[in-house]
Amino acid sequence: MNTININSTDLSLIFWRKILDNSFLKQRTMQKDFFKKIDSLDELRLQSSYNTGSISSTTSWLLFSITLFFKPKIICEVGSFIGKSTFSMAFAADIYSKEYECSIYCCDISNEINFPNITSTTIKQFHKKNSTEMFKHFESDQKIDLLHLDGRLQNEDFDLLKNSLTEKTILILDDFEGNEKGVINFINLLNNNLISRKSHCLIFPIQDETKAKYNLLERSTSGVLIPLKTLKITNQ
């Protein structure tokens, strides 16, 4: 008999719709205030030593939606800049904070920007520190539930991450296109056996038709590595 084969393209369509269906009510009730807070972070550029680009509004909402869906306890981010991605995840963590506390660890090698106190979620900043210096902070038994990579991993990181990543860790890869850092990080994670095709499945950046359905107007290049253990076929 023939089998039904589901590839990453097929699964990507399902993934983004499930994630965004879950946050749809929040989109209607709090998205306007959410973007007002995210946009206000542009004022922090005045503190920057290196003023660079930031994520799109679509990527902000996708980070919020992924965090709200999976409810990670420990989030780690490489490349925080003015905090748009950091707070996108933190605002989602605020929603489920009554269930358990979430902590976010983030680093930015180029800047020493102090984030405002606009979230109840704990944010630990590593000012002008690279990813290696941040990962050294983690205890051997401390596991990362969600890792957002908006910076290129260093060679030293891979040995450090072997203690912190698990088969249940979700990884979000910014700039997942062409030869950009998201693709390079993906290849290096595979080559260093931190993930495998038996443990994680690649989700491609959100498709235009899905963006349009949920009224997300700007482009996003975020790919996701989801644990196969998070997938389940149900009758309903």
pLDDT digits (tens, 9 = 90+) for 30-62: 999 999 999 999 999 999 888 888 999 999 999
CA atoms within 13 A on the CB side of 172: 29
Q: Is the dihedral of CA 56, 230, 162, 90 positive or negative?
A: positive
The Cβ of residue 186 has, within 10 Å, a number of other Cβ atoms equal to: 19
Fold classification of 8-220 is Rossmann fold (3.40.50)
The answer to whether 174 and 222 have CB atoms below 8 angstroms apart is yes
Residue 50: per-residue pLDDT: 85
Residue ranges, the chain, pLDDT below 50: none
The CA distance from 21 to 65, in Å, is 9
**Residue 143 to residue 124: CA distance in whole angstroms:** 16
Extents of the domains making up the chain: 8-220
| Token pair belonging to 135 | 């990962």
Q: What is the pLDDT of residue 221?
A: 98
Measured CA to CA, the distance from residue 82 to residue 188 in angstroms comes to 27
pLDDT in tens, 216-226: 999 999 999 99
